[in-house]
Structure 1
Amino acid sequence: MAGPPITELSTRARDIFRLVVEGYLDTGQAVGSKTLAGAGGLNLSPASIRSVLHELEGLGLLAAPHTSAGRMPTEQGLRLFVDGMMQVAQPSVEERAAIERHVTQPGPIEAALAAASAVLSDLSACAGVVMVPRREPRLAQLQLVPLSATRALAVLVGLDGGVENRVIDLPGGVAPSVLEQASNYLTAQLSGRTLSEAVQAIGAEIASGRTALDSASRDLVERGLAVWSEDAARRPVLIVRGQANLLDDGALTDLERVRMLLDDLESKQSVADLLDAAREAEATRIFIGAENRLFALSGSSVIASPYRDGEGRVVGVVGVIGPTRLNYARVVPMVDFTAQSLGKLIG
């Protein structure tokens, strides 16, 4: 059930609601009327505050835990606060420097993504997650180089100059001329294409019988493509760092929720599918509790932002996963800044 627009709340109700949410996000504890009366600025008696708290509870924005006379925001209340009341703070100079220092370290892109996930985890005290870019470079050639009578090296060269090697098994008695024929055919067919485009085109040509390759060469072509296709399928789609941050002192009172959250994080493909929902967003997205099916039972929040390459295309998603009691105003711009830093690196 959707909550009322923030504009439908009275000024008094908005002030009390904001104090309850901010107090809960700061301490993790329910906030009572006596605490609110002592906060200053309300000029209301505890009885009047209790009346407003009861009204906000009736609207589904606050709830009263069984163990406390105070109130805490519901997931519906948190959504209203995040969308209508939250004042976002910019990352501090120290936080921006830490993010840029980790992201711009020399090395392969996967190392920078892992570093981005780790620094977000450290700064937010949550689990940091980064979706690996779905990079499909254009290819220049694929060469099969004999290593022994039963093994060959498949050398894949990209148009960007990148080179990767994989070892493939050969049937016995393959002549060097067969390797050469297969290499020439592969290079001619995949040049300028992505691997997935090449696999589809070559597969269709072989199946239709249009190729002049003999059976031995066709076998080598299929082996060479298979090792690369299998390798691409096995590459991780998600990097997760900092799961231990979820086991803080507060977790001791909610061990079942944390256990379910850790179980959810083990399903990396499911987490990647969730983050994929943020790929088309123009800005950082926030999923609170049951708003996403994956973390509905563990009552966790996800803050995620897409990052883009130099041409503005979304190539991945970066974010954090943690309890609903997050400092959203601080973490949201931190995630956004990390996405911008990754975009500059990849661009």
Structure 2
Amino acid sequence: MTTPPVSELTARARDVFRLVVEGYLDSGQPVGSRTISRISALNLSPASIRNVMQDLEEAGLLAAPHTSAGRVPTETGLRLFVDGMMQAAQPSAEEQAQIEARLTHGRGPIEDALAAATAALSGLSACAGIVLVPKREPVLRQLGFVQLSATQALAVMVGNDGSVENRVIDLPSGVTASQLGEVGNYVSARLAGLTLAQAQTRLAEEIRAGQAALDDAAQELIQRGLALWSEDGAHRPVLIVRGQANLIDQAAAADLERVRQLLDELEGKEEIARLLDSARAGQGMKIFIGSENKLFALSGSSVIAAPYRSGDGRVVGVVGVIGPTRLNYARVVPMVDFTAQALSRLMA
């Protein structure tokens, strides 16, 4: 259904609609005409409010769940509210400080900061926090090997960002401890400062030109080590999810099937990563409400996501939250936006 513009609603209809939506987002319960007549200054009788609510229901903006006398906003109604009526509130100074503190704590790899941003966002929004990690190859500082047995060694890769990763690798036949040391010296002297792809290309060129001062076993060992990390990086998860437990709250207890469905959807990180990747093309906030995206059509969930940028202004990732459609959009939207801006400053 096409969302009608706010301008098509009368002033009375806008006021009633806003009160129903805000009441529902606050309580998670249907909002009735008597509730509106008590809390508002509309000077309308419950009967008049019911008539307006009926009109809004016929317009597809409200719905009456089961036999309840109250109304809840439809996904179309929530879209109208978010796009045309919501008054966003900036994160408080305390919330901003919490986000900044989590991002700047420690000096580890950027993935640690991204994970911290996700956890902070999850805790403050009471949703599941998500972040799409920028796809980037580590830059080599060192690649060394520690012999474990006659047939295996521990490959240790140190990146320029200080990250350290270990893998067990099978050794070519007859490799000695001295050859392992020779490999480490060669990488440090000839391949340091290159990405994995660049290092593989450089090594192949030097072998073809006869410039690689390595025997066949040492050459094969370096090739195996570089190939191991290249293949692993291609399949490395690019999505971090934190705070799934926040999705199981008291309001969700009455709808456990929806929660189970959402948790199942969160397991499909590749699908969610594709959804968030579509937000990279935009210049600002993306809000997906319920079945607007087929991935969350069954659970009726919402996604709020914003891109963050590298120092040269390129969009490199997306940060956001996933939760029920009954979100405090006015609070969470600017919170996600602030986190994206903080990440951009960190990566500058």
TM-score bucket of the superposed structures, by smaller chain = 0.7 to 0.9
Match of 2:276 in 1: 275
Determine the structure 1 residue equivalent to 2:220.
219
Q: Aligned ranges for residues 229-308 of structure 1 at < 5 Å?
A: 229-308=230-309
Asked if the contact 1:151/1:169 (under 8 Å) is kept, the reply is yes
Equivalent residue of 2:131, what SS? Answer: strand
Which amino acid in structure 2 is aligned with residue 74 of structure 1? T
Distance 1:179 1:44 in 2: 84
299-308 vs 184-193, which deviates more?
184-193
- Which residue pairs with 1:340 in the alignment? 341
Shift of the 152–118 alpha-carbon distance from structure 1 to 2, 3 Å rule, reads same
Question: What displacement does 1:186 show?
Answer: 6.7
Deviation at residue 50 of structure 1 after TM alignment: 1.9
Shift of residue 203 of structure 1? 10
After superposition, give the CA deviation of every residue in 1:251-309 in whole Å (9 maximum; x if it has no partner). Answer: 11111100101111112222222221222222221110011121110000111111222
1:127-206 alignment runs, 5 A limit: 127-139=128-140, 142=143, 149-152=150-153, 154=155, 156=157, 158=159, 164-174=165-175, 193-199=194-200, 201=201
Partner of 2:18: 18
Cα shift at 1:86 = 0.5
Give the corresponding residue for 1:45: 45
Change in CA separation of 1:145 and 1:244 when aligned onto 2, cut-off 3 Å? closer
TM-score, normalisation: structure 2:
0.86
Tell me the equivalent position of 2:116.
115
Give the partner amino acid of 2:104.
T
Q: 2-side partners of 1:164 and 1:148: how far apart?
A: 20
Letter in 1 for 2:120: V
CA offsets 1:140-169 (integer angstroms, 9 cap, x no match):
665667666434454545566766554422
Q: CA deviation at 1:236?
A: 3.0
Give the % identical residues: 67
1:12-70 Cα offsets, whole Å, 9 max, x none, are: 11111111111111111111122222233222222322222122111111111113111
Partner of 2:58: 58
The Cα shift of 1:190 comes to 5.6
Worse overlay, 267-276 or 150-159: 150-159
Paired position in structure 2 for 1:30: 30
Q: What is the Cα-based RMSD across aligned positions, in Å?
A: 2.9
Give the aligned residue type for 1:67: T
CA–CA separation in structure 2 for the residues paired with 1:158 and 1:49: 64
Gaps of 5+ in 1: none
Question: How many residues in Structure 1 have an aligned counterpart in Structure 2?
Answer: 344
Preserved contact between residue 118 and residue 242 of structure 2 (Cα < 8 Å): yes
Alpha-carbon deviations, 1:193-248, whole Å to 9, x = none?
A: 4324555x479879xx9565886456334312222123324533222221111111
* Structure 2 residues not aligned, in runs of 5+: none
What per-residue deviation string (whole Å, max 9, x for no partner) do you get for residues 75-119 of structure 1?
Answer: 011001000010110101111111112221114233322222222
SS at 2:296 equivalent: coil
**Counterpart-to-counterpart distance in 1, 2:169 and 2:26:** 56
Distance 1:15 1:340, change over 3 A: same
Q: Matches of 2:340 and 2:285 in 1, distance apart?
A: 9
Equivalent residue, structure 2, for 1:85: 85
Q: Which amino acid aligns with 1:25?
A: L
The answer to which of 176-185 and 89-98 deviates more is 176-185
- Normalising by structure 1, report the TM-score: 0.87
More deviation, 141-150/314-323: 141-150
Q: Residue 249 of structure 1 aligns to which amino acid in structure 2?
A: Q
Once residues 41 and 101 of structure 1 are traced to their aligned partners in structure 2, the CA distance between those partners, rounded to angstroms, is 42
C-alpha change, 1:163 and 1:267, in structure 2 (3 Å) is closer
- Residues 137, 233 of structure 2: 8 Å contact kept: no
Structure 1 residue 321: deviation in Å?
0.8
Contact kept, 8 Å, 1:135 with 1:315, in 2: the verdict is: no
CA distance in 2, matches of 1:174, 1:150: 8
In the TM superposition, what is the alpha-carbon distance from 1:8 to its structure 2 partner? Answer: 1.4
Q: For the Cα contact (< 8 Å) 1:143–1:187, is it kept in 2?
A: no
